[in-house]
Amino acid sequence: QVQLVESGGDLVQPGGSLRLSCVASGFIFSSASMAWYRQAPGKQREYVARITSGGVSNVLPSVKGRFTISRDNAKNTVYLQMSSLKTEDTAVYYCNAIVSYATSFWGQGTQVTVSS
């Protein structure tokens, strides 16, 4: 079965860094566009970053320069490196895979809490 397993979420102080990982299985990872979304309390799920199968990335303007998305196809893993974290970044972060216009998969999420 398809699985997307996120890890790396933690409690971190403002200005700190975290690297989230998402390990995928059950589909052809190398052909999929991968993305990270987040959902803060009381808010809708929000796009954060994506990376194509060719390694071309895009991030939400508000996190540009602080967050970097990358992938390692040999490990079936997508990463989100987060630096200069702000309290506003607090959310559950979800890994997303899109293999076609009609086929997508979601992980269970990992909690990132930025607080002093």
pLDDT digits (tens, 9 = 90+) for 64-76: 999 999 999 999 9
Contacts of 87 (CB under 8 A, 6+ apart): 14, 114, 115
Each residue's pLDDT tens digit, 83-95: 999 999 999 999 9
Mind listing the pLDDT tens digit for each residue in 7-66? 999 999 999 999 999 999 999 999 999 999 999 999 999 999 999 999 999 999 999 999
What's 43's DSSP letter? S
CA angle 50, 56, 61 (to 5 degrees): 50
- Residues 95 and 48: their CA atoms lie apart, in Å, by 10
Asked whether 40 and 89 are in contact (CB, 8 A), the reply is no
How far apart, in whole angstroms, are the C-alpha atoms of residue 114 and residue 116? 7
Contact 105, 1 (CB under 8 A): no
Position 101 scores a pLDDT of 87
Rg (the chain; Cα; Å): 13
